[in-house]
Structure 1
Amino acid sequence: MRELVILGTASQVPTRTRNHNGYFLRWEREGILFDPGEGTQRQMTLAGVAASRITRICLTHVHGDHCFGLPGVLSRMVLDGVASPVHLHYPASGEDVVRALVSLATPGLDLQLHPHGEAGPIAPGIDVQPLRHRIEAYGYRVTEPDGRTFLPERLAALGIAGPDVGRLQREGSLGDVRLEDVSVHRPGRRFAFVMDTAVCDGAVALAGGADLLVMESTFSDDDAALADQYLHLTAGQAGALAGDGGAGTLVLTHFSSRYDDVAVLADQARAAAGSALVIAASDLDRIAFPPRRASAA
């Protein structure tokens, strides 16, 4: 099962309707919690996300609205008796902040710390790219392995059916028939998570080919000067990154409290997003992973 649960969508300060950041990705057997800001533990309860489902926690950077909920989440995991290892990924320059936050949590969790300091893989199927913010920040991409899609007409023409199909898939050949003869390459689906950043090469790389792209949209295009000053994205920039990268679905979040209604941000993003579906996230939204696109079959 693949699903994104939105736990919070506010930038810098929470509002009456928006909690600080927090995003939970169900990815088959993995449960990945991204950027748990203050109040994440309560939001998990409201959303029905059990702490025991968390296998990894990924921090883009150590600004408080992206990590101050960490001690509470870790303590809840201890309270709930989580016995399996939990992996915590974060920028290496945030080591002191992360260790201070972890020290506040109830002891007893098998928490394994994984700092990273450059682009590349950090775990099986997960890699990071540097972003451009006021402190060191990284975005994350989660990718399923590539596979093969069988072509039924070719299988039928060669008389391959039933258990022989599974054997062909496992072994790569069946007699004189190769797997490549009866199937086409199927790229693995991609999830990308891009938080506080200005437009940069890392954001471009993460957006490229993403089936589901979560991206900050802190400011309206009308407030582009503020976005430049604080190294954040406008809604239009987020939309352009998604559109130029061929993303399937763009989820906007991390909204400034200056906007009571984020519909205008969604409209600005849509104007630049090409064929990408644009969703302005609300707290406690559940977003199913999009079906595989025809171009990926």
Structure 2
Amino acid sequence: MKLTILGSSSAAPTLTRHHTSQYLEIANKTFLVDCGEAAQIQLRKYRCKISKISRIFISHLHGDHYFGLIGLISSMHLYNNIEELHIHGPAGLDEIIRLQLKYSQSFLKFKLFFHATNPDQHDILYEDDNIVVSSFPLLHRVPCTGFLFKEKPKYRRLIKDKIPDDITLEQIATLKKGGDIIVDGNVKYSNIDYTRDAPKSHSYAYCSDTIFRPEISEYFKGVELLYHEATFDNEFANRAAKTFHSTAAQAAKIATLANAENLIIGHFSARYKELDTLLVESKQEFERVMLAEEGKTYLFQD
């Protein structure tokens, strides 16, 4: 699993921090999570392959999370190297994009599909043989959803130099799925003798703009990597609540409640030139925390 941070600022971008967008590679799929202004420039700057993006997930309709979408879609048309694109986002997003295309007299060479998210419930948004992508409700000033990307359990690894010559492909498949080979009521090939543990199944939870809401942790218990917005430090806790945002310490509390393995905090207010205070305050609650750093790729291996 690889996560590249494209933008880490909140409502107002700065000269060094851009609006929220993330490039996620997981289970042989590539997703874009939110698409703030300048997302396509950041994608090119950090050499993220735009043509690999199959689905875009938009958390809510505040501009710093989707104003880069029409530009990216237009460039995808010019590149002429994709066949279809799926966008998951709030109701109304499809109308916004189609109006922009209509009044600019633009058309697309690829098929564009919209899938409306429900901000009030947990839903399965996408599923294939390797991964499930689901949404869960956040609480912000406009309807907002978080996303969980979770790999399905993987097959066990064969110990190739121990595999007998007479074993069939069907029997190999049984071993990889954790079963034993039974012949005439007896175990002929025991799974434990011919396989190793399966590679780790990765998971990533994305919590964009939200007021501190402890109950959301139930949706991603034990997640490998959690991203949670941390717009303010403790000094501005009242402002965070008033604007339906979170502090760095509150983001860390969510990580603790979820028993997350790792935490990335982002969506930093433009008031912060340096982010040391946010990191320190979050580490007081949860040790394994990192700042969202634009251009950095966070790699999680099997």
Q: TM-score, normalised by structure 1?
A: 0.85
Q: Distance in 1 between the 2:80 and 2:93 partners?
A: 28
1:166 matches 2:179? no
Please list the CA deviations of residues 63-99 of structure 1 after superposition, one character each: whole Å capped at 9, or x if unmatched.
Answer: 0000000011111111111333211001225454354
d(CA) in 2 for partners of 1:26 and 1:59?
A: 16
2:283 matched to which residue of 1? 270
Three-state SS of the structure 2 residue aligned to 1:17 is coil
1:208 to 221, 233, 254: 221
Q: Relative to structure 1, is the Cα distance of residues 177 and 247 closer, same or farther in structure 2, using a 3 angstrom cutoff?
A: farther
State yes or no: 1:134 paired with 2:141. Answer: yes
The 8 Å contact of residues 23 and 34 in structure 1, kept in 2 or not, is answered as yes
- Counterpart of 1:45 in structure 2 is 44
Matching residue of 1:110: 111
What is residue 90 of structure 2 aligned with on the other side?
91
Distance in 2, matches of 1:145 and 1:179, equals 26
For 1:187 and 1:286, locate their aligned partners in 2 and report how far apart those are by CA, in whole Å: 19
Q: Which has the larger helix fraction?
A: 1
Aligned residue for 2:42, secondary structure, equals helix
**Residue of structure 1 equivalent to 2:208:** 195
Q: Give yes or no for contact 2:178–2:191 (8 Å, CA) kept in 1.
A: no
**Shift in Å, 1:264:** 1.0
Number of residue pairs the alignment of both structures matches: 283
1:220-264 per-residue CA deviation (whole Å, 9 max, x = no partner) reads 011100110011110001001112211111111100001111111
- Report SS of the residue matched to 2:74: helix
The answer to whether the 8 A contact 2:181-2:190 is kept is no
Q: Match of 1:62?
A: 61
Structure with larger Rg: 2
Secondary structure at the counterpart of residue 96 of structure 2: helix
Deviates more, 1:66-75 or 1:94-103: 94-103
Q: Is 2:214–2:254's contact at 8 Å kept on the other side of the alignment?
A: no
The offset of 1:101, in angstroms, is 5.0
Query: In 2, Cα distance between the equivalents of 1:98 and 1:179?
Result: 57
The DSSP-based 3-state class of the residue aligned with 2:146 is: strand
Question: Corresponding residue for 1:121?
Answer: 124
Distance in structure 1 (CA, Å) of the matches to 2:21 and 2:78: 20
Of 255, 261, 267, the match for 1:254: 267
**Retained in 2: the 8 A contact 1:70–1:101?**
no
2-structure distance, mates of 1:93, 1:202: 27
Distance in 2 separating the partners of 1:161 and 1:180: 11
Q: Work out whether residues 156 and 198 of structure 2, in 8 Å CA contact, stay in contact via their aligned partners in 1.
A: yes
Separation in structure 2 between the aligned mates of residue 134 and residue 247 of structure 1, nearest angstrom: 26
Amino acid paired to 1:113: F
| Secondary structure, aligned partner of 2:282 | helix
Does 2:296 match 1:285?
yes
The DSSP-based 3-state class of the residue aligned with 2:246 is: coil
Give ranges in structure 1 of 5+ residues lacking alignment.
293-297
Deviations 1:151-173, CA, capped at 9 Å, x for gaps: 98xxx9xxx74575834225833
Corresponding residue SS for 1:107 = coil
RMSD: 2.8
Query: Does structure 1 conserve the Cα–Cα contact (< 8 Å) formed by 2:35 and 2:67?
Result: yes
Residue of structure 2 aligned with 1:222, choices 235, 258, 268: 235
Query: Which whole-Å deviations, capped at 9, do the CAs of 1:37-78 have from their partners, x for residues lacking one?
Result: 111111111100121011110000010000000011111111
